[in-house]
Amino acid sequence: MYYPRTERQQRFIALAEELAAVFAERAEVHDREGSFPFENFDDIRAAGLPALVIPAEFGGWNADLLETAMVMETLATGDGSTALSLSMHMQSMGSAAESRIWPPALFERICRDAVEKGALINACATEPELGSPSRGGKPKTAACPVYPPGQEGGEPEAWIISGRKNFASMSPALDYFIIPATLQDGSEDVARFIIPRSDAIEIVPTWDALGMRSTGSHDIVIHDVRAPHANLISRTDAHKPVRGGPINAWFMLLISASYLGVAEAALKAAVRYANERVPTALGRPIATLDNIQRRLGKAELLIHQAQVQLYSAADLWTRHPEQRLALSPSIAAAKVTVTNNAVKAVDECMRVVGGAAMTRRLPLERYFRDVRGGLSHPINDDQALVMFGRGALEEG
């Protein structure tokens, strides 16, 4: 593609390439062990990368959605798990910087922590009983109000939060947790709180997955954590219908970029194998065979299509903030296209390599497992197709 187009984009990608090369050397061990790559995040902090999406006014690099997607895509060519985990920090802070709906003092504090200390944050919303929050429903996690003496019924001074979340990616390295909870103040509203890491947040090592095995997406148990009222960042009225707003572009496009990077790594591995593999019956590299070239070409085409759609959607989101509601279908289409194309591209790479791709001697079996996680993130294929189908019916 014709990206990177600016010197700034080149700098960001060059940094990501340096980190990806180091992460690639560690990825196999962490995948086999299902261990969290603490050393990768030490490197990420040392490079200052947590500041990538932080606004310049707080000392950050002020990267937009397109620039951030490029970085996540590049990091994922080295280790998909690390890129996917870091994407959670980027989407949390990137969307917050864009919307500025958090209390200003709290937002500034977390921004400065990200810049000065390399602090990392993620939204931990999924629960065992709730399933995906994108499906609606209220969290079982509860927030009980704490009122100033003699002022019961007014504004709480704090909230006591208890509950359990699962799929808490990057949990071993997080400094802040965004926790949705149902308010126990008689309203049954759902609010989101920012909670700093503490001993009252227990990480339960439950993550043992098919792919993306080193994301540290464990369960967390919140044991009566006291959160100041000022740490409440949003509240949804339980008695009012939720109005449709713009789609979560930062989440959808950054996780898509991570899975696309995995597919690109698979293509490089398949090309390298095709050039080096010389069967005795053939007497030359299998890369010279038409059927191998066709499969590699199909993988390249799928990746190219995905990149074009990803970059276009991210660029439109950045350049046309007044059109973000109207751009929601484009974001959903990009997410579905990129993740499905990534899966199909890796499948083609597996066919190029053949039986050897099933062995752990090559990284392709890891890419094959990792890339499939992209299908499970919101918006999933079924949700997107229903959305597009209803849109077609309304237009018809």
Terminal alpha carbon distance of the chain? 36
Residue with tokens 């798990």: 81
* Residues 255, 388 share a domain: yes
- Closest to 211 measured CA to CA, from 76, 369, 28: 369
Q: Are residues 354 and 270 in the same domain?
A: yes
Q: Residue 243 falls within a domain, yes or no?
A: no
Rounded CA-CA distance 193/328 in Å is 26
* 276 and 341 belong to one structural domain: yes
Given 120, 154, 178, the domain boundary residue is 120
Confidence of residue 305 (pLDDT cuts 50, 70, 90): very high
Q: Which of 75, 80, 73, 48 has its CA nearest to residue 62?
A: 48
Residues 26 and 130 both lie in one domain:
no
Closest CA to 207 of 168, 152, 257: 168
Is residue 340 situated within a structural domain?
A: yes
Residue 104, φ and ψ in degrees, nearest 5: -55, -45
3-state secondary structure of 23: helix
- 230 and 269, same structural domain? no
Per residue in 250-280, is it b (16+ CB within 10 Å) or e — as a string? Answer: bbbbbbbbbbbbbbbbbbebbbebbeebeee
CATH of residue 314's domain is 1.20.140.10
Arithmetic mean of pLDDT over the chain: 95
**Cα gap 264→366, rounded to integer Å:** 13
Q: How far, in Å, are 170, 173, 206 from residue 203 at the CA level? A: 11, 11, 9
Q: What is the pLDDT of residue 247?
A: 87
Residues 61 and 77 placed together within one structural domain of the fold: yes
Give 363's DSSP letter.
T
Of 101, 120, 139, the position where a domain reaches its end is 120
| Residue 197 confidence (pLDDT) above 80 | yes
pLDDT at 246 over 80: no
Q: Of 198, 261, 209, which Cα lies nearest the Cα of 35?
A: 209
Residue tagged 């700093």 (tokens): 196
Checking if the pLDDT of 135 tops 80, the result is no
Do 228 and 146 sit in the same domain of this protein? yes
Torsions phi, psi for 355 (to 5 deg): -60, -30
Average pLDDT over residues 168-193: 97
Contact indicator for 300, 267 with CB cutoff of 8 Å: yes
The model's confidence at residue 129, banded by pLDDT at 50, 70 and 90, is: confident
Question: Are 297 and 173 in the same domain?
Answer: no
Residue 242 lies in a domain: no
User: Could you tell me how far CA 115 lies from the centroid of its own chain?
Assistant: 20
11 lies in some domain: yes
Q: What is the pLDDT of residues 250-284, one digit of tens each?
A: 999 999 999 999 999 999 999 999 999 999 999 99
The answer to whether 161 and 190 are in contact (CB under 8 A) is: no
Q: Is 228 domain-assigned?
A: yes
Question: How big is the chain by its Cα radius of gyration, in Å?
Answer: 22
The enclosing domain of 42 has a CATH number of 1.10.540.10
How high is the pLDDT of residue 2? 76
What is the domain extent for residue 98? Answer: 7-120
DSSP assignments along 277-306, one per residue? ---TTT-S-GGGSHHHHHHHHHHHHHHHHH
Residue 67 placed within a domain: yes
**DSSP strand pairing (232-236 vs 190-196):** antiparallel
Model pTM score: 0.96
pLDDT of residue 245: 65
90 and 139 fall within a common domain: no
Kindly state whether residues 186 and 262 are assigned to the same domain.
Answer: no
Report if residue 241 sits inside a domain: no
Which has the minimum average pLDDT: 38-42, 83-87, 246-250, 276-280? 246-250
- Would the CA dihedral through 325, 326, 330, 333 be positive or negative? positive
3-state helix, strand, coil in the chain (%, to 5): 55, 15, 30
Q: Are residues 113 and 135 in the same domain?
A: no
CA dihedral (205, 200, 224, 145) in degrees, to 10, reads -120
- For residue 46, name the pLDDT band (cuts at 50, 70, 90): very high
Number of folded domains in the chain? 3
Is pLDDT larger for residue 242 or for residue 67? 67
Domain co-membership, 79 together with 163:
no
Residue 2 domain-assigned (yes or no) = no
